[in-house]
């Protein structure tokens, strides 16, 4: 873990600044829900989501071991969304959320129900924020499993919120895998159709 004063990642020495940055991230999440009414807004939504998720996952990769978990989640997030956006472009759809033709019921339920999608997205952000706040408050261990299990064993409102957000977080990761597979399939089908036309 980086603990030198020369490090760019010395935010844990400034908890009030960290709270402001995390609060700003939450406000960005709320803001982009209102901006998605235009094409530019939809692109801005995707970009701000990926950037904020990337930043938070990189911070977690510096705090907890094994850090490869968070970097793998970052790669999955970026790859699945980039493939989804590109396959949307190739198939001529107007929105990356148009998944009516998907064979996965979970994928259709996620994009078809705004409340379910919002729950999963907020759960992802909340899970990351809980892990950062637990680290700032307790700072007892860098082992991710120990932090999650010790906080879930405590009977409190925060542990109940973390438990429910972990479920939404897990569903979102499953959605990312499904999204990456279906988007990859769409790109392959596009290539096959293009080859047959020639």
Q: How far apart are CA 138 and CA 54, in angstroms?
A: 24
Q: How far apart are CA 157 and CA 160, in angstroms?
A: 5
* Secondary structure letter of residue 97 according to DSSP: T
**Could you say which of 45, 49, 146, 191 is catalytic?**
49
Catalytic annotation present for 49 = yes
Q: How far apart are CA 96 and CA 175, in angstroms?
A: 13
Q: How far is CA 68 from CA 28, 61, 80, 100, 170, in A?
A: 27, 7, 18, 34, 17
Diameter of the chain measured on Cα atoms: 64
Give the contacts of 71 (CB within 8 A, at least 6 positions apart). Answer: 57, 58, 61
Q: How far apart are CA 56 and CA 49, in angstroms?
A: 11
Give the contacts of 109 (CB within 8 A, at least 6 positions apart). Answer: 116
Would you please indicate which residues are annotated as catalytic (active-site) residues?
A: 49
């Amino acid at each position: 873990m980086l603990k030198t004063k020369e490090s760019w990642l010395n935010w844990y020495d400034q908890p009030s600044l960290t709270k402001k940055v995390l609060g700003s991230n939450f406000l960005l999440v709320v803001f982009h829900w209102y901006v998605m009414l235009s094409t530019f807004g939809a692109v801005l939504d995707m970009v701000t989501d990926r950037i904020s998720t990337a930043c938070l996952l990189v911070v977690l990769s510096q705090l907890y071991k094994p850090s490869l978990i968070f970097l793998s989640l970052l790669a999955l997030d970026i790859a699945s969304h980039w493939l989804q956006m590109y396959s949307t472009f190739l198939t001529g759809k107007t929105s990356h959320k148009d998944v009516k033709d998907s064979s996965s019921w979970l994928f259709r339920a996620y994009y078809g129900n705004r409340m379910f999608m919002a729950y999963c997205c907020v759960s992802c952000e909340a899970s990351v924020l809980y892990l950062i706040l637990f680290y700032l408050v307790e700072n007892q261990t860098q082992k991710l499993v120990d932090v999650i299990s010790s906080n879930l064993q405590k009977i409190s409102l925060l542990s109940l919120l973390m438990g429910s957000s972990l479920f939404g977080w897990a569903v979102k990761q499953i959605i990312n895998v499904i999204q990456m597979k279906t988007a990859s399939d769409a790109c392959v089908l596009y290539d096959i159709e293009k080859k047959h036309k020639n």
